[in-house]
Amino acid sequence: MNKKLYLYNTASRKKELFEPQHDEVGLYCCGPTVYNYAHVGNFRTYIFEDILKRTLLSLGHKVKHVVNITDVGHLTSDADSGEDKMEKGAQREGKSVWDIAAFYTEKFMENIHDLHISDADVWPKATDHIQEMIDCIKALEENGITYRTSDGIYFDTTKFPTYCDFAGLDPENLEAGSRVDMGEKKNPTDFALWKFSPKDVKRQMEWDSPWGKGFPGWHIECSAMSLKYLKQPIDIHCGGIDHIRIHHTNEIAQVEAASNKQYVRFWLHGEFLVLDKGKMAKSAGGFITLDKIKEKGIDPLAYKLFSYSAHYRTPLTFSWEGLQSAENSLNNLRSLILKETVGVQESKDAKSVEAVLQDFWQALYDDLNMPKATAALWEIVRNTTIEPSIKKAAYLQIDSILALDLFAGKQEKVVAASSMDGGDVRVVSTGDVSDEIAQEIISMVTERKLARKNKDFALADTLRDKLKAMQVEVKDMPDGSTECVVAGK
């Protein structure tokens, strides 16, 4: 198979063949602002970025993956007004900003691991890179692109003529219909590079700079940290779609105005996870965290499988029903895979394995089409003509991308049994089933057997329906015995 990766580049608005610029693919993903829990919408974006990284690795590329931790400077409005989200979080919880940052960073990492998202190679914190940010601002100042107001140092977007190109902004409309709080800004799109600490409020996080005490703007943080760890032009820079209009537009302006060189080759943006009543956002409250999913006893990886049900460039609506059905699918997948592969050695016949994986790779290399890739996995599971050893080798490769713990199925065991004239009855489960429930199942099945013997089919059907409602699958076996499959805990 011709293994070529095509990715949709927001900059060109088309799918392009991906070719690395350097020996090692540089991958920068905008990370969390650690003033609150990350919600499952945020994790949708990190899952898609992890699929991208795993896909690059599957092609034999070396990858350097950088995800920043924003622990200062992200204001409640992307247009440089409002409060610092971190300082606001600290006030909300009566803790220091540093404690808030440490707590939510740890929580974030815990959830990243729950979701089997691979660790970045570098997790730079904004507060550890203030000097690098000051250096970037100085370079812009030397190129005559900045100006000073009473509250900070700003980037003059009229000095970067292609400012509107990336997001397809209409410069006319920006001026006329602007609802941006202009303050002393010269143009609505100008943005803060450095903000001065307010005179009347003592900030917990502030640093000296050539312009006065203050803190960096959020956009300069990502530019400074990405260029510290990755070579320019950076191969791929990712984030959610909300970043296109302001954050990434501003990043391009800063870096390209300072260096006169392309900043990033490929820009990839993930669509939002939405609630049926609108977008899921930290600032909007009422968002769903991964911990809430865990509290309900749902496997975090079920959320991961749920996220694969839509292409990363289409919105996905969260629902508990959808998540539950993803968990059922995941359990089914795992138990089918276990049945087929338990005790089986994976095949070394690379050619045959490759043939089985063709549809899977094709879906993945066509702009990370996860719904198709997941469907390709199901095709392999359902195909009874493929040898188990080949299937096992294929599943191993698939799980190196999907990271769903596909071999974690639990083996079925008999949890209760009864012998009777009309054939034995067994209750089997992959989990634990209480004695009470197991005995109830046995007595209902025994009653059903008797009803059938007495040709009382109406009663037999009623009992079967009742068992079904209890999520018990009744299988009448050729030897006359009956097997009752129940999920268990």
Per partner kind, with CB cut-offs from 5 to 8 A, the member of Zn ion, ligand AMP, none near residue 441 is: none
Per partner kind, with CB cut-offs from 5 to 8 A, the member of Zn ion, ligand AMP, none near residue 222 is: Zn ion
Asked if 89 is part of the footprint of ligand AMP (rule: CB under 6 A), the reply reads no
Q: What is the DSSP pairing of strand 472-476 with strand 482-486?
A: antiparallel
Q: Which range, of 190-198, 237-245, 418-426, 480-488, touches ligand AMP by CB under 6 A?
A: 237-245
Rounded Cα gap, residues 333 and 337, in angstroms: 6
CA distances to 63, 73, 209, 241, 247 from 190, rounded to whole Å, are: 34, 16, 20, 20, 12
Binding mask 253-292 for ligand AMP (x = CB under 6 A): -----------------x-xx-----xxxx----------
Asked if 246 is part of the footprint of ligand AMP (rule: CB under 6 A), the reply reads no
Nearer to ligand AMP, 54 or 85 (CB): 85
Query: To the nearest whole angstrom, how small is the minimum distance from the Cβ of residue 284 to Zn ion?
Result: 20
Give pairs for 290-295: CB < 8 Å, separation 24+. Answer: 290/38, 290/40, 290/43, 290/111, 290/114, 290/115, 291/37, 291/107, 291/111, 293/40, 293/323, 294/114
Binding mask 36-65 for ligand AMP (x = CB under 6 A): -----xx-xx--------------------
Asked if 323 is part of the footprint of ligand AMP (rule: CB under 6 A), the reply reads no
Asked if 268 is part of the footprint of Zn ion (rule: CB under 5 A), the reply reads no
Answer left, alpha or beta for residue 105, where phi above 0 means left and psi between -120 and 50 means alpha. alpha
Q: Which range, of 28-36, 97-105, 125-133, 381-389, touches ligand AMP by CB under 6 A?
A: 28-36
Binding mask 18-37 for Zn ion (x = CB under 5 A): ------------x-------
Before 216, cis peptide (omega within 30)? Answer: no
In contact, 65 and 120? CB cutoff 8 Å: yes
Nearer to ligand AMP, 203 or 282 (CB): 282
Would you state the structure tokens that stand for residue 80, as one six-digit string? 């440089």
Per partner kind, with CB cut-offs from 5 to 8 A, the member of Zn ion, ligand AMP, none near residue 137 is: none
Query: To the nearest whole angstrom, how small is the minimum distance from the Cβ of residue 284 to ligand AMP?
Result: 9
Nearer to Zn ion, 30 or 364 (CB): 30
Question: Which residue of 25, 222, 363, 463 would you call a contact of Zn ion, by CB under 5 A?
Answer: 222
Nearer to ligand AMP, 214 or 239 (CB): 239
CA distances to 84, 125, 148, 481, 484 from 100, rounded to whole Å, are: 13, 14, 31, 60, 51
Rounded Cα gap, residues 97 and 90, in angstroms: 5
Q: Which of residues 326-355 bind Zn ion (CB under 5 A)?
A: none
Asked if 225 is part of the footprint of ligand AMP (rule: CB under 6 A), the reply reads no
| DSSP per residue, 425-449 | EEEEESS---HHHHHHHHHHHHHHH
In contact, 334 and 381? CB cutoff 8 Å: no
Query: To the nearest whole angstrom, how small is the minimum distance from the Cβ of residue 295 to Zn ion?
Result: 30
Where would I find the H helices in 187-246?
218-229
Nearer to ligand AMP, 42 or 189 (CB): 42
Rounded Cα gap, residues 441 and 434, in angstroms: 11
Asked if 242 is part of the footprint of ligand AMP (rule: CB under 6 A), the reply reads yes
In contact, 35 and 86? CB cutoff 8 Å: yes
Rounded Cα gap, residues 431 and 335, in angstroms: 12
Rounded Cα gap, residues 254 and 218, in angstroms: 12
Binding mask 130-169 for ligand AMP (x = CB under 6 A): ----------------------------------------
Per partner kind, with CB cut-offs from 5 to 8 A, the member of ligand AMP, Zn ion, none near residue 89 is: none
Q: Which residues bind Zn ion (CB under 5 A)?
A: 30, 222
Contact residues for ligand AMP, defined by CB under 6 A: 30, 32-33, 41-42, 44-45, 239-240, 242-243, 270, 272-273, 279-282
